[in-house]
Amino acid sequence: MPRSLSAIQPTGIVHIGNYIGAISQFVKLQHETEAFYFLVDYHAMTVPFEPRELHDHLLNATAIYLAAGLDPKKATIFQQSQVHEHTELGWILMCLTRLGEAERMTQFKDKGKNTSASVGLLSYPMLMAADILLYDTDYVPVGEDQKQHVELARDLAERFNKMFGETFAMPTPLIKKTGARIMGLDDPTTKMSKSAGSPKNYIALTDDEGTVRKKIAAAVTDSEGTIDFAPAKRPGVSNLVTIMAEITGMTPKEVVQSFDGKGYKEFKGTLADTLVEFLQPIREKYLALRADPAHLVGVLRDGSARAKELAEKKMGAVREVLGIRL
Ligand code: AQP
């Protein structure tokens, strides 16, 4: 069976962009692959963070994974920092990465503009490469923003294999044709993001009905008043069409056709109804799961123990080819 692996950062809420671009793929792939989905708590430390919040976000994100449909009997759900081999391989891969190569990563260019950016922000793509390569991953389901980082993992696997002998499998990114980059509701020219300044940017998977309705009503569109899918020319309405398409299983074209002759008010009203209906059961499950932190910790511990078995074995092989296994 092929192996799939991916993660989310426990840095805040989990939004509908994370769900559409990544988590919806995880839920499907847990039935078709040997699946590993985890929480990258070390990645969350690349920007300033509060330990108390990080602790809460870890439990929140675990509850979201389960509420969104991941099943710990099917997928290995774990915490990155509980498997020390990630940082060990991350260091080795950092030593194989050229500084210019790391500095070319667009996420670093976006977030690391100022001199107070951490070295961790520069080097986290190598830790992500380690996350992937440690498990001989075949498929990495991600949103479009992570494509460049998966490509770096491929380059590093190839480089390592050439220098030290065939050790790592070559991972392939799985990026959806529609929904790989959901845009911010308040600014449809940039991606929907947890770290966005305003909650109006995103719909959280845990938003209640009133909040969803308010955010959709306030979502930026344009003055044309018609429903269309033309992301370059009409990013706001096209983003809403994409969200509607991904939640209902329609194509953007079908969504546009079904709102032919209708205006924003009607379209936004139906989109809000659709989202509320989709999110309500997730929110209810989330709240029930979140009330039992011991269960969530147990899921992560069990998953981490399983992941560690594989990671230890792989690191043994890596140490061997590097000449440091005495
Ligand atoms: N807007 C998005 N549309 C589609 N997919 C997305 N992903 C993230 N944003 C979108 C995908 O979700 C997975 C987890 O990503 P993350 O945990 O890094 O979340 P984030 O929203 O990217 O977090 P931040 O804090 O907002 O980070 P920055 O500021 O870096 O964007 C990934 O597969 C991601 O591609």
Q: Following CA atoms 213, 232, 141, 58 in sequence, which dihedral angle do they give, to the nearest 10 degrees?
A: -40
* Closest listed residue to residue 302, CA positions, set 66, 9, 14, 19: 66
Whole-angstrom CA distances from 309 to 82, 157, 300 are 12, 21, 14
Average pLDDT, whole number, for the chain? 97
Q: pLDDT tens for residues 235-289?
A: 999 999 999 999 999 999 999 999 999 999 999 999 999 999 999 999 999 999 9
Helix (H, G, I), strand (E, B) or coil at 37: strand
CB 180 within 8 A of CB 150: no
CA pseudo-torsion sign 50, 56, 59, 64: negative
Looking at residue 235, its pLDDT comes to 98
Region class of 323: left (phi > 0), else alpha (psi between -120 and 50), else beta: left
What does the pLDDT read at residue 92?
98
The catalytic position among 28, 74, 111, 314 is 111
The answer to whether residue 234 scores a pLDDT higher than 90 is yes
Active site residue 111: yes
Work out the average pLDDT over 69-97. 98
Find how far residue 59's CA is from the centre of its chain: 16
Catalytic status, residue 194: yes
Q: Is the pLDDT of residue 195 over 90?
A: no
What residues does ligand 1 touch, defined as CB less than 6 Å away? Answer: 6, 8-9, 11, 17-18, 20-22, 107, 142-143, 145-146, 180-182, 191-195
Q: Looking at the predicted structure, is the pLDDT value of residue 109 above 90?
A: no
Choice among 28, 74, 109, 191 that is catalytic: 191
pLDDT at 189: 95
What does the block give as tokens for 175? Answer: 């990026």
Number of the ligand 1 atom closest to the C-alpha atom of 11 = 25
Looking at the CA of residue 6, tell me the nearest atom of ligand 1.
33
| Closest ligand 1 atom to 141 CA | 33
Report pLDDT digits (tens) over 135-193: 999 999 999 999 999 999 999 999 999 999 999 999 999 999 999 999 999 999 999 99
In this structure, what are the phi and psi dihedrals at residue 162, rounded to the nearest 5 degrees? -70, -40
Instruction: Please state, for a pLDDT cut of 90, what percent of the chain lies above it.
Output: 94
